[in-house]
Amino acid sequence: MTAAPTHVTSEELLAHILNQLEDDKAEEIVQIDLRGKTAIGDYMVICSGRSSRQVSAIAEKLVDDLKQTYGRLSRIEGKETGDWVLIDTGDVIVHVFRPEVRDFYQLEKMWMPSGTTKPAVSTTV
């Protein structure tokens, strides 16, 4: 059964997503604060799965959980290949990568504040 759509702040949504990713054994979870930098969302989360199958499973479970918990329909792209799956929840953008693909695209470098050498790995808000 799907929950009726409920209002949730971007911070609450971020915390829920981080907990879900941790529960699903996502690796190297990084959160990036986008507020004031772009209109695409308030936060970006980047994480890795060990295989294409795990990447797809993490993404699918997260989308299902957000629908069940908050009645929130998220857009998902890339699930078929399992190399890089993007989940757009509206306020939080989630990227789930295979490690090699993540190393190639290096999204953290693109979105981290200048002067930051390595993003902090975080599982809590």
Across the range 41-61, mean pLDDT stands at 97
Q: 65-82 pLDDT, tens per residue?
A: 999 999 989 999 999 999
> Is the pLDDT assigned to residue 124 strictly greater than 50?
no
Are the beta carbons of 45 and 107 closer than 8 angstroms? no
According to CATH, the superfamily of the domain at 10-111 is Beta Polymerase, domain 2 (3.30.460.10)
Can you give the pTM of this predicted structure?
0.87
> What's the one-letter identity of residue 76?
I
- The rounded distance, in Å, linking the Cα atoms of 113 and 31 is 12
Mean of all residue pLDDT scores within the chain:
89
